[in-house]
Chains A and B, each alone.
Chain A
């Protein structure tokens, strides 16, 4: 039942995107700006030491992870909107297990995140980033982004289940997004961070997502097995937490 439900929500997401692609275009602007302005500028000033690897090559996988997180972290707002509009109640009254609803919603966020991956990869290639196009690696990228987006969207839905208000969630979302991004290895190596930030980075799933993407896309070695295991565990735990709080949100 779970795969069929997840597929249903993915189909719905695709249908929505087919009717209105504006969101895809507007959401693409930010990662493009990061790559084109921040990436190119920092490449020229050599402010961040990345060894023999060009800074744009180092940064591109981080921007992929970041754009997926930025989409997912506000997904709780959508579920609160659906609660307010009565849509969530109707979905909860269907014979769909709560975990399937949460998984479906998070995979729906993944559909949007993967569209961003495509945009970033195209722009990165145009900027001369040395990407690896091995189909197996690209499949790995899809899997990593799926797990990362699932974690962050379920984190957002979990917070939604706790705070139950759009305004509060908006505030919390804004408060945690940048710290999650900066306390990761998306923009600079762990070695450059002060110890306390390195500790935070080590417990931040975004770091493992970036590490895996860097390995798969530009060949920077990482412990892929560990990265996948951390992402799988984090996404699974957060999915469970969000599904436990879904009924509370609807009441």
Chain B
């Protein structure tokens, strides 16, 4: 399987849900080995973009490649290159941590001889070795997220896609998740595309920021570059407000508000 230096090359991507344009003529590029943060208020088109990239949604308009493979026509090849962690905390509570990871090792065709070692390796990398044989239903929210990362990493993906991976987690658990994402990127040289609402995290973690608003690209660049445009004291929060018009407080139901609230409530219930 050939892997180019460009992890994601997305040109003129437009995606509609009925009359509503969720993503509007988006150009997005992720270089190999980069951590790129996709930021924007609710309804900005972040999750839709991610779901097109990971083949959950069809490419309606535009051209999308992952490591040189056309997402529209080589979806199985693209899926082999991707590790994906969705917004919700999504594990099989009735299986142990080890079994949860083992399931994905099988689905990604990790060779039988390497499977057990690979599962142990990612569980250890996520600091879950001691609790690997406990039912995942007994895990804390932070542990579940790390288990999901282990699932996503078991096939050693070239591109890791994280959709708001720290939503609903306490600060300590959040730090734990980010430490491991950084570590895995450094260890395996993979590319990471993530969405987050936490500006400080994006500032510290991301090599590049792509700011979306109402489906359109509003700004992109290194965090420092984006901040310097607004002045020496500017934070990424200021950048966000500048380009989105303080959309956090203006977000309406049609911009995904009710769906987001449901997701967050569901997450909170599952985490306990």
Contacts and interface: CB of A to CB of B under 8 A. Distances in A.
A94 B266 contact: no
A115 to B, nearest CB: 16
A90 B92 contact: no
Contacts of A95: 76-77, 79-80, 107-109
Given A8-B106, A93-B56, A87 B76 contact: no
B90 A93 contact: no
A250 B119 CA distance: 27
B194 to A, nearest CB: 15
Interface stretch (A14-22, A48-56, A60-68, A151-159): A14-22
Which one of B51, B82, B103 has the greatest number of beta carbons of chain A within 10 Å?
Answer: B103
A89 B263 CA distance: 14
A94 B89 CA distance: 17
A86 B86 contact: yes
B263 to A, nearest CB: 9
Contacts of A250: 56
Contacts, number: 74
A251 B90 contact: no
A8 B88 contact: no
B99 A93 contact: no
Contacts of B34: none
Interface size class of B (residues with CB under 8 A): 20 to 34
* B contact patch SS: mixed
Interface in B73-126: 76-77, 79-80, 82, 84-92, 94-96, 99, 103-104, 106-109
Interface residues of A, number: 25
B54 interface: yes
A12 B86 contact: no
A91 B88 CA distance: 14
Nearest to B103: A12
Contacts of A5: 107
B103 A89 contact: no
B90 A89 contact: yes
A87 B90 contact: yes
A15 B57 CA distance: 31
A85 interface: yes
Interface string A78-109: 00000011110111111111000000000000
B55 interface: yes
B191 interface: no
A8 B90 CA distance: 19
B42 interface: no
B95 A15 contact: yes
Contact of B54 (A12, A15, A19, A93): A93
B135 interface: yes
Contact of B103 (A8, A20, A93, A97): A8
Contacts of A20: 94
A236 B10 CA distance: 38
Contacts of B195: none
B151 interface: yes
A94 B108 contact: yes
A247 B52 CA distance: 12
Contact of B87 (A86, A94, A251): A86
Contact of A15 (B51, B87, B99, B266): B99
Nearest to A11: B106
A16 B104 CA distance: 15
Contacts of B266: 84
A19 B135 contact: yes
Contact of A16 (B56, B80, B92): B92
B94 A16 contact: yes
A92 B108 contact: no
Interface string A131-147: 00000000000000000
A15 B85 CA distance: 23
A16 B103 contact: no
A89 B109 contact: no
A169 to B, nearest CB: 18
B92 A12 contact: yes
A90 B151 contact: yes
B88 A94 contact: no
Contacts of B107: 5, 8, 91, 94-96
Interface string B261-272: 000001000100
Contacts of B90: 85-87, 89-90
Interface string B44-78: 00000001001111000000000000000000110
Interface in B1-23: none
A87 B84 CA distance: 11
Nearest to B262: A84
Contacts of B106: 4, 8, 11
- Of all A-B residue pairs in the complex, the 5 with the closest CB atoms, nearest first, are A86-B90, A86-B88, A94-B107, A86-B86, A8-B106
Interface of B: 51, 54-57, 76-77, 79-80, 82, 84-92, 94-96, 99, 103-104, 106-109, 135, 148, 151, 266, 270
